[in-house]
Amino acid sequence: MNITLPDKSIRDLPKGSTGLDLAESIGPGLAKAAIAVVVNGIQKDLSDPINEDSNVSIITISSDEGLEIMRHTLTAQVLARAVQNLFPGTKLAIGPTINNGFYYDFESKKTISNDDLEKIEIEMRKIISTDSDIKKRLHSKQDALKIFSEKDETYKEIIINEADQDDNFQLYYQDNDEFVDLCRGPHLPNLKHIGAFKLTKVAGAYWKGDAKNKMLTRVYGTAWKNEKDLKKHLIAIEEAEKRDHRKIGKEMSLFHFQEEAPGMVFWHPRGWAIYKNLESFVRNRLEKFDYQEIKTPQVVDRKLWEASGHWDKYRENMFITEIDEEHANDKRTNALKPMNCPCHVQVYNHGLKSYRDLPVRLAEFGSCHRYEASGTLHGLMRVRGFTQDDGHIFCTESQIENETKLFIELLSGMYKDLGFDNFDIKLSTRPEVRVGSDEVWDKAEKALENAIQKLELPFEIVEGEGAFYGPKLDFVLTDAIGREWQCGTFQADFNLPDRLEAEYVGEDGSKHRPVMIHRAVLGSFERFIGILIENYSGKLPLWLAPEQVAIATIISEVDDYASEIEEELKSINIKVIKDLRNEKIGYKVREHSAAKVPIILALGAREKESRTVSVRRIGSNNTETKSLNDFIAEIKVEAKSPSS
């Protein structure tokens, strides 16, 4: 049996050899480090036999795949066992890996809380210290059900009964069958490979995510190759918690949510000021790239959603309304728009277009509503009501490349001005289920790729992840603490113009379908403002800040000087707070610093007499004295929006 390794070398091993046999044939060091294998693209346990000529690679803990397997083993073979040891009678549900960690769902007779995490960790370390081997055995459905029925593991029985198979149920055992769990695997061959971990929190979770089912206890954790990586991650979590936009939003009184409107934002004056500043920034930039701004209805009859295909594919996420029309016997069924694209086609269709009119670039700050499950709502990051910096470009196939180039120029400039110098581009190509001919897909994919290459930008091709109507580019930016956020998108659509009968008259005098490009730079305004708040820890750039300057007096005798400065700043459109309260200057400075006001001017008798200001910038403990005229001239330039 020939085994082909990643370096194209071939090893001849007997049929039925395992991944461990292969590792040992290469060297003792690899055999010691090996934890699993990939056989013809499928991950398998190190003990699984290989019965035919195959391409095989060996997984070690140092790889991303190895880390994922370690986390999975830690969940199913260590956390699950530790909880059952400490809380007898606990039933096991599911325990998958998640981004940077894992969780396990339990049904426990005793309440498990965050206070129990430390003792669970101690028990987990005790289990790991045994260096137990993990053995996999395959069972028939009948035998697997018998094993878990005897253990009263109700949830495992449900999983087995619902599985579309009769044999080869994978059960993993430890310590002479003292502990067993059902799992898709693969797992580590031995617990000694487990690195560093930390349990992070306890939460409630419905079985199968359905509120009609029983509430289970979910224990979360994170795991890494070593203590250094774990510490780095925990520091990042701590920093992220400090930057949480919900916490900062409350401190700065930017917005709030309440039960009467779940997933809908109540913007406060300061928060709405940020929103308006950002909207003006986007609007000015779009005008420079020849977009025409439009406004379309929020409530639209179901007939349009049926024609566009959204009624069949997206109705469960739409807010539906029914009204009795005057002088009509039937109810009219409408929906709050979940997206703007069908309405933009209606604007395009109003009046016949010629090829000379293309491209047509339409933009809208489109207010959309989508039903999101209550458990997924998360501050500004996941809401039910939001506004997009939405845009649609109607063009010919030959214009796709240039429109891609222009959009990337627009996006990269806006991201840079907003403080994001780094972003990644992902090109998602045709999925198996799609509309349009291969010839059209070839042109569209090549046009997007050519545009990126001509701008000399790196990009990643993601095979098969395009939308069913066309290929797309996704733009992923990186924030100040290294987190990635997918915001911008650029999607070529050959489907909707056909469904909604968009046309233009070509050079040949006949009618043709335009290509419709869906594009956004920020995406949801709400989500992007949340990202900005976390990126800057609330300390927004001067032009974006809701309040730019706080004037704080030290003594009442300088109140008139403070008023004079206030008027001068307002005359150049600087947003000012004048603080004449009878409070100590230290108190005033602390209060305005907590509100993240970028610049605080402290005024005393000396400043009034010399017509100067003492300038303190947020994030700095230093105070700089400047003449009033110099300060006015500097801030006039500094506060100017980058898109002005």
Determine the Cα–Cα distance for residues 175 and 371; give it in Å rounded to an integer.
48
Whether 606 is catalytic: no
Residue located via tokens 């459905």: 141
* Catalytic pick among 77, 84, 174, 388: 388
Residue 553 near residue 580 (C-beta atoms within 8 A): yes
Whether 395 is catalytic: no
Whether 368 is catalytic: no
Name the residue among 398, 393, 497, 490 with its Cα closest to residue 440.
398
Residue located via tokens 């409630």: 204
* Catalytic pick among 187, 302, 392, 596: 392
C-alpha distances out from residue 123 to 87, 133, 204, 311, 414, Å:
11, 18, 22, 52, 51
Residue 545 near residue 598 (C-beta atoms within 8 A): yes
Determine the Cα–Cα distance for residues 383 and 525; give it in Å rounded to an integer.
11
Whether 518 is catalytic: yes
Residue located via tokens 């990586």: 229
- Per-residue DSSP letters for 324-374? E-TT-SSEEEEEE-S-SHHHHHHHHHSS--BGGG--EEEEEEEEEE----G
Give buried/exposed letters for 485-520 (b at 16+ CB in 10 A, else e): bebbbbbbbbbbbebbebbbeeeeeeebbbbbbbbb
SS3 label, residue 625: strand
**Which residues, other chains included, contact 483 with Cβ-Cβ below 8 Å and sequence gap of 6+?**
240
* Catalytic pick among 472, 519, 588, 616: 472
- Going across the sheet that includes 423-428, the strands are 292-293, 360-369, 385-395, 515-524, 484-493, 472-478, 423-428, 460-462
Determine the Cα–Cα distance for residues 367 and 369; give it in Å rounded to an integer.
7
Whether 579 is catalytic: no
* Catalytic pick among 105, 136, 270, 341: 341
- Residue 173 phi/psi, 5-degree rounding, is -120, 155
Determine the Cα–Cα distance for residues 538 and 577; give it in Å rounded to an integer.
18
What tokens does 20 get? 């461990």
- Residue 468 phi/psi, 5-degree rounding, is -65, -20
Q: Which amino acid is at 56?
A: V
DSSP code at position 193 = G
Determine the Cα–Cα distance for residues 187 and 136; give it in Å rounded to an integer.
9
Residue 450 near residue 398 (C-beta atoms within 8 A): no
Whether 370 is catalytic: yes
CB atoms within 10 A of CB 451: 21
* Catalytic pick among 390, 479, 493, 579: 390
364 has which bridge partners?
390
Burial class of residue 88, CB neighbours in 10 A (0-12, 13-18, 19+): exposed
HSE of 430, CA atoms in CB hemisphere, 13 A = 16
* Catalytic pick among 72, 193, 353, 518: 518
Whether 392 is catalytic: yes
* Catalytic pick among 91, 370, 527, 588: 370
The gap from C-alpha 277 to its chain's centroid, in whole angstroms, comes to 24
Q: Where are the beta strands (DSSP E) in 175-270?
A: 179-182, 196-206, 215-224, 255-256, 266-267
Give buried/exposed letters for 198-228 (b at 16+ CB in 10 A, else e): bbbebeebebeeeeeeeebbbbbbbbbbeee
Residue 144 near residue 169 (C-beta atoms within 8 A): yes
Active site residues: 341, 370, 388, 390, 392, 472, 518
